[in-house]
Each structure stands twice: as C-alpha cells, then as structure tokens.
Amino acid sequence: MALAADYAKMLEDEVMMGDALPFDEMMQACAQVQARANAAART
C-alpha cells in the first residue's frame, strides 16, 4: 500500500514528532475521527 510506504518513510526521516502511532493504529484513529465527523454532520 503506497500510503503505508509513505508513512514508513516519514517515520524513517523523523518527520513525525514525538511517539508516532504504528500505521494500522493511525489509520484506525483516522477512521474514528471520520465516523465522528460524519455523525456530527448528520445532526
């Protein structure tokens, strides 16, 4: 997956500050934010 490879490269290049989440956890967090935003938009 290209996105996972890009994320790995950012970690390798130390672009992320602090403790970066593993890719799968970051994607899960993004999905949760998306779900909350979509639910708020429907109300």
Q: Which residue has the tokens 């970051």?
A: 26
Q: Which residue has the tokens 């993004």?
A: 30
pLDDT computed for residue 13 by the predictor = 95
DSSP, residue by residue, 1-43: -HHHHHHHHHHHTT-S-SSPPPHHHHHHHHHHHHHHHHHHHT-
Q: Which two tokens stand for residue 30?
A: 């993004």
The structure's pTM equals 0.76
Would you write out the chain's pLDDT as a tens digit for each of its 43 residues? 899 999 999 999 999 889 999 999 999 999 999 999 999 999 8
CA 37 to chain centre: 15
